[in-house]
C-alpha cells in the first residue's frame, strides 16, 4: 500500500474543504439546525414524545443521518468528478498508485468531512435538547460505516456523471426523499400497517433505525438487521467501484 499517495490525495481533499469551510461545514450545520428548530418547535408542540423520548431529541439521529448521507455523496462525487472534468484524472491513473489507494484517499477524505459535520450537528443539538447516547461506541461505528458507505456511493456517482447537473440528480431525486420518508421526523410504527410494510422497502429506514437505537435503544427494526443492511449496501458500493476501475468505465475513455 502506497500510503504516501493516499496521504497526498487525502490532504489535498481535506485542504479543499478547509478553503471552502463556509460551504463545506458551516452551511450544512446551519441548514440542519434550521430543520431542528422548525420541526422541533412546530411539530414538537403537537407530539410531546415518541416511545418515551421527547420529540426534539427523537429527531436528532435522523437529522444527523440526513446530513451524513447528503454530504458524503456530495463530497465524494465532486472530489472525483472535478479531476475528470479538468482532465487531471489521467495523470492520477498513470501514476504509480493503485485504484484501491485512489479510493482510500478520496473516500477517506469525504467520510472524514461527513463525520466532522455529523459530530458538529450532534454538539449543536445538545444545546437545544438533553441528549442521551446509550451506546456511544456503537453510535460512532454506525456514523463511520454509513459515512464510508455513502462516500463510496458518491464516488461511483462522480465517475458515472458526465455533467455537473448529474452530480445532483441522485441525491436530490432519490436520496433526500428516501431520507425524509425513512423515519427522520417520525417513527415508522406511527404509520398504518400497509404503509409500515411499504416503508420497510426503503433502505434508509434501516440506517436511521439502527443509528437511533444507539441513542435511545428504540428502533423500528432489529438492530442486527440494520447492521446487516449497512454492510450489504457497503459491499454493493465496493463492488460497483471495483467494476468501474476494472472496466475503465468513464475513466479511460
- Model pTM above 0.75: yes
The mean of the pLDDT values for the chain is 87
CA distances from 122 to 57, 65, 180 (A): 11, 11, 19
Residue 154 CA to residue 167 CA, distance in Å, equals: 9
* Structure confidence by residue, pLDDT tens digits, 181-238: 888 888 888 888 888 888 889 999 999 999 999 999 999 999 999 999 999 999 999 9
Output the CA angle 200-133-185, nearest 5 degrees.
40
Whether the CA torsion 53, 233, 176, 71 is positive or negative: it is positive
The four Cα atoms 105, 121, 208, 131 give a dihedral, to 10 degrees, of: 140
**89-100 residue pLDDT tens:** 888 888 888 889
Q: How far apart are CA 94 and CA 122, in angstroms?
A: 41
- Whole-angstrom CA distances from 207 to 96, 139, 142 are 37, 11, 8
Burial pattern 89-102, b for ≥16 Cβ within 10 A else e, equals: beebeeeebeeebb
Crossing angle for the helix pair 203-216 and 223-247, to the nearest 10 degrees: 130
Q: What is the mean pLDDT of each run of 10 residues along the chain (253 residues)?
A: 87 81 70 73 70 86 90 92 86 86 94 91 83 92 95 95 86 88 86 88 93 93 93 95 90 72
- 3 state SS of 19: helix
pLDDT of residue 224: 93
Amino acid at each position: 500500500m502506497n500510503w504516501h499517495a493516499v496521504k497526498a490525495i487525502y490532504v489535498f481533499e481535506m485542504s479543499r474543504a478547509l478553503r471552502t469551510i463556509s460551504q463545506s461545514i458551516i452551511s450544512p450545520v446551519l441548514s440542519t439546525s434550521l430543520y431542528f428548530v422548525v420541526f422541533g418547535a412546530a411539530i414538537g408542540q403537537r407530539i410531546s414524545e415518541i416511545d418515551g423520548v421527547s420529540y426534539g431529541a427523537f429527531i436528532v439521529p435522523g437529522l444527523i443521518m440526513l446530513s451524513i448521507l447528503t454530504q458524503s455523496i456530495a463530497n465524494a462525487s465532486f472530489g472525483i468528478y472535478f479531476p475528470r472534468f479538468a482532465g487531471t484524472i489521467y495523470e492520477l491513473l498513470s501514476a504509480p498508485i493503485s485504484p484501491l489507494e485512489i479510493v482510500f484517499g478520496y473516500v477517506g477524505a469525504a467520510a472524514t468531512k461527513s463525520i466532522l459535520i455529523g459530530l458538529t450537528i450532534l454538539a449543536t443539538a445538545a444545546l437545544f435538547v438533553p441528549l442521551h447516547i446509550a451506546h456511544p461506541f456503537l453510535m460512532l461505528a454506525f456514523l463511520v460505516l454509513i459515512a464510508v458507505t455513502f462516500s463510496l456511493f458518491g464516488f461511483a456517482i462522480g465517475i458515472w456523471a458526465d455533467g455537473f447537473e448529474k452530480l445532483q440528480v441522485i441525491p436530490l431525486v432519490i436520496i433526500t426523499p428516501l431520507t425524509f420518508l425513512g423515519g427522520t421526523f417520525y417513527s415508522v410504527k406511527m404509520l398504518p400497517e400497509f404503509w409500515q410494510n411499504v416503508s420497510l422497502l426503503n433502505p434508509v429506514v434501516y440506517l436511521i433505525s439502527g443509528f437511533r437505537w444507539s441513542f435511545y435503544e428504540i428502533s423500528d427494526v432489529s438492530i442486527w438487521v440494520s447492521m446487516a443492511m449497512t454492510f450489504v449496501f457497503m459491499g454493493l458500493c465496493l463492488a460497483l467501484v471495483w467494476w468501474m476501475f476494472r472496466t475503465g468505465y468513464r475513466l479511460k475513455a
